[in-house]
Structure 1
Amino acid sequence: MNSVYQSPRVLKPTVPLVVVLVLACGAQLMVVLDGLIVNVALPQMQAELGLSASAQQWVVNGYLISFGGLLLLAARATDLIGHRKIFLAGVTVFTLASLAGGLAHDPATLLAARLVQGIGAAALAPSSLSLLTMTHTGEQRTRALSIWSATSGSAGALGLVLGGAITSGLGWRWVLLINVPIGAALWISASASLIPSHNRDRRPLDLPGAVTVTLGAAALTFGISQVGGYGWTSERVIVAVLAAAALLGLFVVAEQRGPAPLVQLSILRRGNILVANVIVAGLGAIMTATLYFLSLYQQRVLGDSPLRTGLALVPMSAVLTLGAITSKSLLPRFGARRLVVAGGLVMAGGLVWLATISAHSDYLPHILGPTLVWAAGASIVTLPCVALATAGVDAEHAGLASGLVNTARQTGGAMGLAALATVASRATAHSRSTESLDRVVHGYSVAMLVAGGIAVLVALVALGPGRTKRWKAVGSDTIADR
């Protein structure tokens, strides 16, 4: 295999291809890690900064919303402005935001830093992948993409363990500050290796669409998160929901009338794409909320250290990774619909089992067992949905279809966490127990039951009538339900 760069458009001559692979994987690892690593550090953040329950959600949600809301815009900007410029801008924003978050001394600064981190992540995710596809061809590309995908998958387990180890050894600030030297190394390497790109397209970016959809999602998530403390009829909830409706309405108008829309709404009329993204959003809600509650439960209720919490969830992350690999061979045999239905029902079973936790639960029967079950279900749902979301899509819309999946995952996670945290808060407030820990655990249990209900809905959506012809996977072989 030729180890030096083959195209003059991206990498400087004589620079080995492995440099691009390291840059892309390093950026992707940093992006995925920061979606998870803070979960284990939340109790320490709360203790030092005095974060409210709502603010704790936004440490996670702020990142997910800005990441998911701006992902499509960043992907478009990568094509129009250039891979090098967007990659360097993403690294810069992400690194500086990590520094600000790590040095924060009040909740507002921390939450603002997480929002800005999400902006940097939105730039890094598509540009890192584009660097690989622009510089690798044939077997080299397949190998590079498999390494990039494995990096994304392993980042889940690594994020939990690193979060626990760093929080236990150095304190919560270093789960953010660790990005500073990594980001600096990526920036220096990219600057030295990548050729400055030239604008190839003068078409405008759809800033109105990106701003309205991101703010709309944020307003809706905020409104949902306030229901637990203030109720549906409170002024702040009503204002937030109305603002979300107005902003999302403006987004639709902007996409219909804009010269270069971020999302061509006609693509959503294809049943397979809409169904797949609804399922992916539900999956994002379940996974984000489950990790959030598990981390709080283990540390606040069971008294586990951050490191022990991270290690306790490693088997679950391993199953998520192994299941995703296995689903690749299961898809041609069973078809997309069967895998999604089976995965949704298995997830539901694991979450109902997880809802049996108490203030004095043992690890093996009440945490390890149910998390392995729901992880097994979740792991076989993703690939069929990605296949479905991109099936039959022409080259012109391939990037949009892929971007919609990632956007659905991130925004679904943010809104799902807000909704399930609200459920937990209301259940805790109405618990009849006299013990505070029992009331808190009751709230977590009810939230897990609702998450199980979402998993059942995932299966029902897949079972919907008239789907058979649409459930096909991308590739040389057509994979349909049997």
Structure 2
Amino acid sequence: MTSTSTAAQRAGRHAGPAWLILSLACACQFMVILDASIVNVALPSIRLDLGFTPTGLARVVNGYLLTFAGFMLLGGRAADLFGHRRILIAGMFSFSASSLVAGMSSAPEVLVAARVVQGMGAAMLAPATLVVLNTYFTEEKARARAFGMWAASGGVGGMAGAVVGGALTTGLSWRWVFLINVPIGAVLIVVAMIALAGGRAVRREPLDLVGAVTGTVGLAALIYGVMHSADHGWASAPVVGPVVAGLVLLVVFIVVEARFAAHPMMPLRLFTIRGVAVGNAMLMLFGGIAIAMWYFTSLFLQNVLGFSALDAGLGQTPAAVTFLVVARWAAALLPRTGVRPLMLAGCGCFLAGFGWLAQAHADSGYVTSVLGPTLLVAVGIGLTFPTLMAAATADAPEGDAGIIGGLANTASQVGGSIGLAVLATAAGARAAAETDADSPAALAAGYDLVFLIAAGLGLAIAAVSALLPHSGEESGAGPAPAR
């Protein structure tokens, strides 16, 4: 990769080899994304063992996702203020300790509380890993390859959830879905202490407490409301109340950051960097594409073709492997091609793949109607996701790398949450228009509409990519120029 000596000298002590640092960042990203989905297969066993109500069971999933997305900006700024090494280690400790509590839970309330804390730990880890990449991989090609590996590890983590969760739940117990994090987390803490250059923060300034509270609570409230839209309807009080409250708090957050904060948690000047602004807009759109690919394709396999949850996970494995290979290849191309050609090629794959997938129906075969198009979409995701993360974090000032990383992760998570709510509503409405709304044919019609919308999101990303800066327009500190 590249030497870590410059970063080590700046931090005041020797850093470990580049391969170890990259492995650490990728493993952390894999874990936090894996835990967003690994629990899904275990939910029936958890309900029987702990006595969850059907409504309460959703909190096991949402408790993690809510705090993960809501606290990401705060986690990113903390990495800037207190140092990426401290925040990564603290986040992994919190993540692992709460996993232990979750695995040992004897009551529903304990498990939900542990998942909330686990999400907070993940919100510290995810932006800290991006700071690690930006700090230790400064040479253009090495940084591009590092971003490709990081993006691939997160994507595979999301895809592997059903397979790993099903294997652990079936072979051992649902508790091992959480307990497996404890020994892995302990190893990663030791690796972080050895590999990462130590300790001092990039900035010496107080944390913007008003911005932290309004931004974090506002994001969490907005995402909470959106999450409940599929169950309660967009006009219901459980949706409108949190969404309005979240939007109001986010407006207050912006006003505080712009006019009153001496040391803003998220300096609005960062949005004057065109790559940051445009890259995050594309990441929000991309969140809907990722949901359509992994979540709704899994539902199609289970609810229309009759696959089990574990079989559905295995059925998506070829796409996950394709994504991993293509993401690494795209990262190697990125310094030579720039952002825009890879983005346009990926969006072309989205249009073709989702258009093909939208032709699937209840009598379709897996190979011709699902495997083929999902492989094509996976190529598109592999081309675009590491490219998007590179564009959204390019030209980041050194002292703001954490908050920019947190912003990029937040954009993707918020886009995924809103995408899930909108697409689930569209699928439900389309299925309800059929004679038998619960039949495989009706459900297939709903999922086909989702895939067509996803193709449209691909076109939207291609259009927005035209706003990316051309080579030389910005400072050029990022992984690759947009051409």
Contact 1:10 1:131 in 2 (8 A): no
What is the RMSD computed on CA atoms of the aligned residues? 4.2
Letter in 1 for 2:301: Q
Q: What amino acid is aligned across from residue 97 of structure 1 in structure 2?
A: S
Displacement of 1:35: 3.1
Following superposition of structure 1 onto structure 2, how do residues 24-35 of structure 1 map, counting pairs within 5 Å? 24-35=25-36
Contact 1:221-1:418 within 8 A present in 2 as well: no
Q: Decide whether the 8 Å contact of 1:5 with 1:12 is kept in 2.
A: no
The answer as to whether partners of 1:388 and 1:471 remain within 8 angstroms in 2 is no
Pairing 1:267-278 to 2, within 5 Å after superposition: 267-278=270-281
Matching residue within 193, 207, 224 for 1:205: 207
Task: Describe how 1:372-387 pairs up with structure 2 within 5 A.
Answer: 372-387=375-390
Where does 1:189-204 land on structure 2 (aligned, <5 Å)? Answer: 197=199, 201-204=203-206
Q: Tell me how far 1:372 sits from its aligned partner.
A: 0.9
Tell me which residue corresponds to 1:251: 253
Corresponding residue for residue 287 of structure 1: 290
Partner of 1:228: 230
Does the Cα contact within 8 Å between 1:40 and 1:309 map onto a contact in 2? Answer: no
Q: Is the 8 A contact 1:64 1:413 kept in 2?
A: no
Quick one: distance in 1 between partners of 2:245 and 2:251? 10
Distance 2:478 2:225 in 1: 45
Measured in 2, the distance between the counterparts of 1:14 and 1:265 equals 32
Shift of 1:193: 8.3
Could you tell me whether the CA contact under 8 Å between 1:271 and 1:470 is conserved in 2? no
Choose which of 159, 163, 182 in structure 2 pairs with 1:161. Answer: 163
- 2:67–2:120 contact (8 Å) kept in structure 1: yes
| Residue 345 of structure 2 corresponds to residue 342 of structure 1 | yes
Deviations 1:336-377 (Å, cap 9, x if unpaired)?
334323322421332233234444542212221121111112
Between the aligned partners of 1:270 and 1:380, the Cα distance in structure 2 is: 23
Higher mean displacement: 328-337 or 140-149: 140-149
Matching residue of 2:79: 78
TM-score, normalising length from structure 1?
A: 0.81
1:380 partner SS: helix
Residue 90 (structure 2) aligns with = 89
Please say which of residues 102-111 and 119-128 is displaced more in the overlay.
102-111
Deviation at 1:175, TM superposition (A): 2.0
Aligned residues: 479
Aligned-residue offset at 1:316: 0.8
Structure 2: gaps of 5 or more residues: none
Query: In 1, Cα distance between the equivalents of 2:426 and 2:266?
Result: 32
Counterparts of residues 7-406 of structure 1 (less than 5 Å) = 23-41=24-42, 52=54, 56=58, 59-104=60-105, 109-128=110-129, 145=146, 149=150, 151-152=153-154, 154-156=156-158, 158-187=160-189, 197=199, 201-256=203-258, 257-328=260-331, 330-331=333-334, 335-406=338-409
CA contact under 8 A between 1:228 and 1:426: conserved in structure 2? Answer: no
Distance, in Å, in 1 between the alignment partners of 2:470 and 2:138 is 34
Comparing 64-73 and 141-150, the one that deviates more = 141-150
C-alpha contact (below 8 Å) 1:272/1:471 kept by paired residues: no
Alignment of 1:458 onto 2:465:
no
What is the Cα deviation at residue 277 of structure 1? 0.8
Normalised TM-score (structure 2): 0.81
The amino acid across from 1:455 in the alignment is G
How far does residue 76 in structure 1 lie from its aligned partner after superposition?
2.8
Q: Distance between the aligned counterparts of 2:39 and 2:31, measured in 1? A: 12
Name the amino acid aligned to 1:28.
Q
Q: Which moved more, 1:82-91 or 1:409-418?
A: 82-91
Would the alpha carbon gap of residues 311 and 224 (structure 1) be closer, same or farther in structure 2, given more than 3 Å must change? same
Please list every run of 5 or more consecutive structure 1 residues that lacks an aligned counterpart in the other structure: none
**C-alpha distance in structure 1 between counterparts of 2:233 and 2:107, whole Å:** 27
Q: Are the structure 2 counterparts of residues 395 and 437 from structure 1 closer, same or farther at C-alpha, using a change threshold of 3 Å?
A: same
Q: CA deviation at 1:248?
A: 0.8
Contact 1:390–1:474, Cα closer than 8 Å, also in 2: no
